Structures are given as C-alpha cells and as structure tokens.
A = this chain, B = another copy of it.
C-alpha cells in the first residue's frame, strides 16, 4: 500500500481526493492536514464513510509519514512546502495541484501568480502531469506539477495535432467556460450563489495565469506561439468546456484520425462521433475528457472542443491518475 498524504484536505480538490481514496485499493491515507480544523477527527464530508484525523501541516511529520504527498493548496504555500519536503526527503514523491511549479520563468510567476519564485531549478525538474501526453516522463517522476483545469482541457485536443505538425503557427484563440467550483472556497461577495446563479461573464482576457502554462506546453510539443486565452464562468457547479479556434492545412478527417490514433489506449479520453459536441454533463463526476473537432469551411477555421470535470480530470482525478502511473498501477484504479 502506498502511504499517501493530502495537504489541504478540506479544499474542493482535497475533498475529491478523499472521495477517490475511499475507492482506491492500492493507497492508504496516512496523513491529512487542514489549517482550520487541524486536531479534529471525523469524515468532514457527510457522504464519506471513513474517519480521518486532520493535523496542522508540519514538514517533518509530512515527510516522515508518507511515500507520496498531494498538495491541495494555494500556489504561495505550495511553493514553500514542495521545496522543503524535497530538500528534507529527496525520495518523497510529490504531486502539487497548485500552479506553483508549472512555469519556469520568474517573470511569469511574478506577473501571473503575484509572488517571487525562489526555486526555479526545482520547477525545471518538475514533470508536467498531463497524463496522456507525458506518461513516460511521469512514470519516472519525483515531483509532478499537476496541470491546471483550463490547460488540461485545451491541450488534450491540440498537442497530438501539434506533434504531427497539423496546426498552423498563428492566431489560436481559446475561449473556455468553467463551472463555479473553479473559484474554490474563498469567501468573496462575488462567489455567493445569488451573484453567480443565472449569470455568466468573461474575465481575465489574456491575463489568466493559465496562459503561459498553455503556451509552455504547446512550445514543448513544437508550437512556439502566443495564444489568446479567454475564460468565462458559467452557472454550474462542476465542469469545463473549452473551444480552441485554429487553422490547419490538413482535412478534418486527418485531424480526427490523429486524435483517435493518439488516444486509442487512453481509457479516459473519448473522441466523440463525427459532428457530436462534447457536453459537460457527459463528463461531470468522471475523470473523462470528451473531444471533437469541427471545421468551418467558409472561414477556414477549425474548432477543437473538449469537456472535462474541472475538479477531476482538471485536478484531483488527474492527480490520482498521475499517482497510478508513477506506481505502475492500472491507470483507472480508484477513478471509475
């Protein structure tokens, strides 16, 4: 059994990890933390069956107790903990769900995350945990930087096409919609039910912190361009829909075949039937990503659409999938 820890167990992503671990046959939760409820024992979420004991985070204890630690924290906190844990116990495996190790440019961390990154060399060693794209690197990784929800949705359809040189290197626009759980549990007036229900708006056009993350992975796979990433919130709890507009010289069939071939052994990726649109309701509560591509012959644009559950394939589900890959366990363990 893998001795596993969750730091930040009462966040939305922590909660999803707890749910998954009630079904996972190869992992044992030995260490859970919460700053607000450290010292208490309970299920904390009434739908869970097993009691857990929550502690206040303490680096020595965390490192001593666990083979693998999930960090479900804001980036600022994760930035420190990852470094300290790695220094203290180099053989510890870490899956960081924050964005603290997803970039390698100090300027990008300052601009997009608002803090000064002091461990860039560690960020350079971190493996980007987009499971279906970096499976081989993940197998051997010590530190996984778990992808953001928007990048997961946007990159899954684009990367296989890019690797085959099927995307023109210009003018990609990604217009993506996220359910509200992406905002997390922070208390703001604009996170109240009555402010979000029956509402939708765009935000952070071109300035969202997932922009450089997407561009870094596109570049890593051969497309070194800037993209316009334009997110919106839509009034549902969980789920994400990503529309990527791009140009290609290949015919639609070629693009779809490329995806089908690339993902044929990936149990969580489904290329929808020709002409069928991925829908959030089909993936909510699952670790699946549904994908399809559409062509507008009049303008020459292609549209890659993908739908995921932002808390599962976009966060905690993919984190456990990464763990499964790291330990050579069946990739779907705990996730069906």
Interface of A toward B, CB cutoff 8 Å: 12, 22-23, 45-47, 49, 171, 173, 175, 177, 180-181, 183, 185, 187-189, 191-203, 205-206, 211, 226-228, 230, 232, 234-239, 241, 243, 245, 267, 270, 272, 276-286, 288, 290, 294-299, 301, 303, 305, 307, 336
Say yes or no: A279-B200 contact (C-beta < 8 A), given A171-B171, A296-B206.
yes
By the criterion CB–CB under 8 Å, are B303 and A205 in contact? yes
Enumerate chain B residues within 8 angstroms of A45, measured Cβ to Cβ.
Answer: 282
Docked-complex contact A192 and B195, CB < 8 angstroms: no
Which of the residues B23, B201, B236, B280 comes within 8 Å of A336, measured between beta carbons?
B23
Q: A22-B336, A193-B193 are in contact. List 15 more A-B contacts (CB 8 A).
A: A171-B299, A177-B232, A185-B189, A185-B192, A194-B238, A198-B238, A198-B280, A198-B284, A199-B279, A202-B243, A202-B303, A228-B296, A230-B245, A235-B235, A245-B245
- A278→B191 contact, CB < 8 A: no
Cα–Cα, bound, A287→B238 (Å): 20
Known A234-B234, A301-B173; contact A180-B193, beta-carbon cutoff 8 A:
yes
User: What is the CB-to-nearest-CB distance from A13 to chain B, in angstroms, rounded to a whole number?
Assistant: 12
Once the chains bind, are A12 and B294 in contact (CB under 8 Å)?
no
**Distance, CA A193 to CA B190, complexed state (A):** 10
A294 close to B206 (CB less than 8 A): yes
Q: Find out whether the CB atom of A200 lies under 8 angstroms from the CB atom of B236.
A: yes
Instruction: Given A187-B189, A234-B177, A237-B193, answer yes or no on A46-B290 (Cβ-Cβ < 8 Å).
Output: yes
Task: Select A227's contact among B189, B276, B278, B299, beta carbons within 8 Å.
Answer: B299
Find A175's partner among B171, B175, B236 (CB 8 Å cutoff): B175
Chain B hits for A183, CB < 8 A: 193
> Do A202 and B298 touch across chains, with their CB atoms under 8 A apart?
no
How many angstroms from the CA of A227 to the CA of B237 in the assembled complex? 32
Cα–Cα, bound, A109→B187 (Å): 30
The answer to whether B288 and A202 have CB atoms under 8 Å apart is no
Q: Nearest Cβ in chain B — how far from A213, in angstroms?
A: 14
With A180-B193, A298-B226 as contacts: A203 and B277 at CB distance below 8 Å: yes
Contact B197 A237 (CB under 8 A): yes
